[in-house]
Structure 1
Amino acid sequence: MKTEQILQTDVEVVSTKRKFRWSVVIWLLIGGIINYLDRTNLSIAAPAMIKDLHLSNMHIGLMGTVFSWTYAVMQLPSGWLIDRFGAKTMYSIAILWWSIATALTGACNKLGTLLGARFLLGVGEAPCMPTNAKITSEWYPKRERGLATGIWDASSKVGPAIAPPILVAIEVAFGWRALFFITGAIGIVFILIFMKFYRSPEKSKLLSKEELDYIQAEGGGSATTIETTKIKWRTLFKYRSVWGMILGFFCTIWIWNIFLTFLPLFLLKTQHISFAQLGIYASIPWIGGILGDVCGGYITKKLTDKGICSPINAKRGLIVICAILTAVVVILIPFMKGLVISLIFMTIALCTISAITGSAWALSGDIAPPALVGSVGAIQNFGGYFGGAFAPVVAGIIADTTGSYTIAFVSGGIIAGCAAIFYWFVVKDPIKE
């Protein structure tokens, strides 16, 4: 018993004094921010594109749907490719691809070419989040993956948060096409730097042997993620927990896509603010998303560290609570009167939604064996975006038909609440060989 306590103390000392591993999540955070800048630029450019190219709300929603559907379908081969060829290789190819697709969007003049550019963007962005999940499983022990995931998943909120003021300023100065050219160029510069400096844990010259041992003690390290497994990729769909993750993430991404595509247009229509003001107000709700991601990861880590519950149950419990809160708040949003109260409710909604997405991504590292983390994470994301792809076009049709976003938010809130059912009653046990 004493020997075990000494070993545990030694591990804790290593974990607190040597923390190079926490610098790795910065790569994932920056890459994710760029990823979401390249998604969000459409929502900022939408008003000008509608006017300049004679588009409608439905057309903007259709572009969002084409991206989401392509992104969803490409999750399936992406997860397999990541597990087969490694995180660094696939991440590099993906960012270069989607950055070029982003720049091409700025050169489009017709709906058909715009849809083609969004299709290419969906193909390129598909490997991003599954790669992040894979790198997290390599660089962090299980107890830390919730917090690490919360940090890099916050990029999906930091991007939309900083996008409005920056991109609005660019559009005012240079026009809407410049949004796509500039964000595309940023991605190309980033991936060149990433390719030069990023290394896996075993190949890193800056990671001490003590810290590597600590990471590997709880299932981390890239060596464990390339081990063979008896489970075939196609058989993953036979597992109950995998289906729970697919359906639960669909419920979450449905409302997420509505916010991502229509938040700026919703504010312009319902709060009667100017386009210049949009740069400030459209970024505020995403601050809640950042807090939700990081705080959600921190809470699950503390619950695990204190022995209150297992890593899996900590994440499942947080998801359930946040899904119920999301449902209530989202349903109330269209009935709020006044800019301040509307922004408060949207901020709370994005906070709880983000806590769900962060925990859901971290959950893939708990449910899947090390060799299949990328695949399971990608399959969950496939479920979310394949079904959630319909959300932007449905919301766009509702807005064009009724002249209001009320039905879109009410139905979206109900769907979001159903995530609690799937993550609690269907997602339960890890995949066992």
Structure 2
Amino acid sequence: MKVVEEQPLSVPDQASYAATAKPSKVRYVVLSMLLVATILNYVDRSALGIVAPSLSKDLALDRMQMGELFAAFGLAYSFALLPGGLLTDIVGSRLAYALSLVGWSCATLTQGLANSYHMLLGSRFAMGALEAPAFPSNARAVTLWFPTRERGFATSVYVMGQYIGTPLFTGLLLWISSAYGWRSVFFATGAFGIFFSLVWFRAYRDPSRHRSVNAAELQYINEGQGRPSQKAREKFNWRIAFKLLGYRQVLAICLGKFCNNTLLVFFTTWFMTYLVEARHMSMIKVGIFQALPFMGATLGILVAGSLSDFFIRRGVSISAARKAPLIIGTLLGATIVFVNFVESNELVIAILTIAFFAQGVGSMSWAAVSEIAPPQYVGLTSSITSLAANIAGVTTPLMIGYITHHTGHFYWALNLMGAICLLGTLSYSLLLGKLSRIEL
């Protein structure tokens, strides 16, 4: 399919105009759209976990089957990430994101129609594959729209969407499920996603083609490697992906993201079941307590992004400023094991909030990817590292489902997640090395 790009706007005497005019703030409007899209992304993928207790009872599904349903999303998502990143590099964030949004929203709707394990499984596979272009599109848009000194903050804002959707909407979705049945949750979230896909396609453009951007903001964005160079992109072949994997920076971020993402997957899949079945909390308590860890993770990603940019402005190297949150956050994520040694539900939630706060800090790896990606392959590099992270979307649900099915409790599953976090800390601290732009 041939994609026809709009021509950049012509601005008379652009250089002198940019020197005197006040920069517009369109990049923050774009960032707000990325945030909404990411919230929707994670609300849709988390909806199954929210309704899992009632859905599994209604369809007579055991823990192994629920683990397989959670993992189906991650498996399809992982396989589709490289094609999704390539699609983003070819057609741009505008079209790639619009297609992804409408596709995964339709797959979300079909989950509400499911009357068997196999139909749910097919819907989860489709949803995982269709969400794949989302984060490469996020990374490409942020790289194009924000200068280096703001990129950490911008990254933290859209990544924050992973966490704030659950505390904001879980109560509402639980009420919808209670009042109208678990199927209505999928109908509501899927319908909103289709609507937002139209909003995105209508409103988003790259900076040079956006009618509301003035020359001063374009100049500001372009300062300090604010967007990838215009080096011509070579014809794609799969050897480029394998070549990228030969760089220790890419390998280290892949391993670190996988380990850090293990905690995120737990909170977006088995967390509600853990509170209800392992901690025997009522739905009222679950509605209150489940929000706290997600609020902690939201704070973690915002603190990490803001401090990372602050240290860069103060003269700290980009490498040190971007690596510190990865090492500290992934290490502290291992504190999740302490819930195995306390009885108080309030203390359990406090520990889980600290662990998820740390996971949010460690999620700053997206900013590190933006610093090392070859200019002409931002989407592909993002997809490779995201693929590694989302292997955890397959292994974590299956691991927890298998362990809890055979042992009847979460003890060893939580201990294993703590050990995985320690492995990620070693990857970021010993293998990653200095962050620098890869030139192919």
Q: Work out whether the TM-score is over 0.5.
A: yes
Deviations along 1:61-102, one digit per CA (max 9) or x if unpaired, are 111111111111111111111111111111000000000000
Q: Which amino acid aligns with 2:324?
A: G
Closer/same/farther in 2, CA of residues 206 and 401 from structure 1, 3 Å limit: same
Where do 1:26-37 residues align within 5 Å? Answer: 26-37=32-43
2:115 is equivalent to residue 137 of structure 1 = no
Contact 2:109-2:191 within 8 A present in 1 as well:
yes
- The aligned counterpart of 1:391 is 396
Partner of 1:325: 332
**SS of residue in 2 equivalent to 1:236:** helix
> Of the candidates 235, 243, 260, which is equivalent to residue 252 of structure 1?
260
Supply the distance in 2 between the matched residues of 1:291 and 1:333 (Cα, whole angstroms): 21
Deviations 1:218-262 (A, max 9, x none): 22347x467425993442122221111111111112222122111
Q: CA deviation at 1:394?
A: 1.0
CA 1:149–1:402 in 2, change beyond 3 Å: closer, same or farther? Answer: same
SS of structure 2 residue aligned to 1:205? coil
- State the shift of 1:365 in Å: 0.9
Distance 1:174 1:12 in 2: 58
Give the secondary structure class of the aligned counterpart of 1:252: helix
SS of residue in 1 equivalent to 2:233? coil
Equivalent of 2:122 in 116, 140, 146: 116
Is this contact kept in 2: 1:331–1:410, CA < 8 A?
yes
**Mapped partners of 1:380, 1:52: distance in 2:** 37
Amino acid of the residue matched to residue 56 of structure 1?
D
Q: For structure 1, which segment, 229-238 or 35-44, has the greater mean C-alpha deviation from structure 2 after superposition?
A: 229-238
Contact 2:23 2:220 in 1 (8 A): no
Pair 1:163–1:335, CA change in 2 (3 A): farther
Once residues 393 and 123 of structure 2 are traced to their aligned partners in structure 1, the CA distance between those partners, rounded to angstroms, is 20
Match of 1:293 in 2: 301
Following TM superposition, the consecutive aligned residue runs of length 4 or more in structure 1 with deviations greater than 6 angstroms are 11-14
Could you tell me how far apart the structure 2 residues matched to 1:322 and 1:256 are? 13
Rounded to whole Å, the distance in 1 between the matches of 2:40 and 2:235 is 36
The partner residue of 2:322 within 299, 315, 318 is: 315
3-state DSSP of counterpart to 1:86: helix
* TM-score using structure 2 length: 0.91
Confirm or deny that 1:82 pairs with 2:71: no
SS of residue paired to 1:206: coil
Do 2:26 and 2:212's aligned partners in 1 also have CA atoms closer than 8 Å?
yes
Matched residue SS, 2:281: coil
5+ long unaligned stretches in structure 2: 1-17
From 217, 228, 231, the counterpart of 1:211: 217
For 2:186, the aligned partner's letter is F
SS in 2 for 1:123: helix
- Larger deviation, residues 339-348 vs 297-306: 339-348
Correspondence for 2:381 among 344, 361, 376: 376
The range that moved more, 38-47 or 423-432, is: 423-432
Q: Is the 8 A contact 1:40 1:163 kept in 2?
A: no
Q: How does 1:327-346 map to 2 (within 5 A)?
A: 327=334, 329-346=335-352
SS at match of 2:437: coil
Residue from 327, 350, 354 that aligns with 1:348? 354
Separation in 2, partners of 1:294, 1:225: 31
SS of equivalent residue, structure 1 residue 308: coil
Letter in 1 for 2:278: T
3-state SS in 2 of match to 1:119: helix
SS at match of 1:272: coil
1:303 aligns with 2:311: yes
Identical pairs, percent: 31
Cα shift at 1:18: 4.3
**Rounded Cα–Cα distance in structure 2 between residues aligned with 1:166 and 1:355:** 27
Matched with 2:421 is 416
Rounded Cα–Cα distance in structure 2 between residues aligned with 1:225 and 1:112: 47
Quote how far apart the aligned CAs of 1:187 are.
0.3
How do residues 186-265 of structure 1 correspond to structure 2 at under 5 angstroms? 186-221=192-227, 224=229, 227-228=232-233, 232-265=240-273
Counterpart CA distance in 1 for 2:369 and 2:227 is 16
Corresponding letter in the other structure for 2:352: M
For this pair of structures, how many residues does the alignment match?
A: 419
Describe the SS at the equivalent of 2:60. Answer: coil
The 3 A distance-change label for structure 1 pair 13 and 332 is: farther
Q: Is the 8 A contact 1:166 1:279 kept in 2?
A: no
> What residue identity is the alignment partner of 2:377?
L
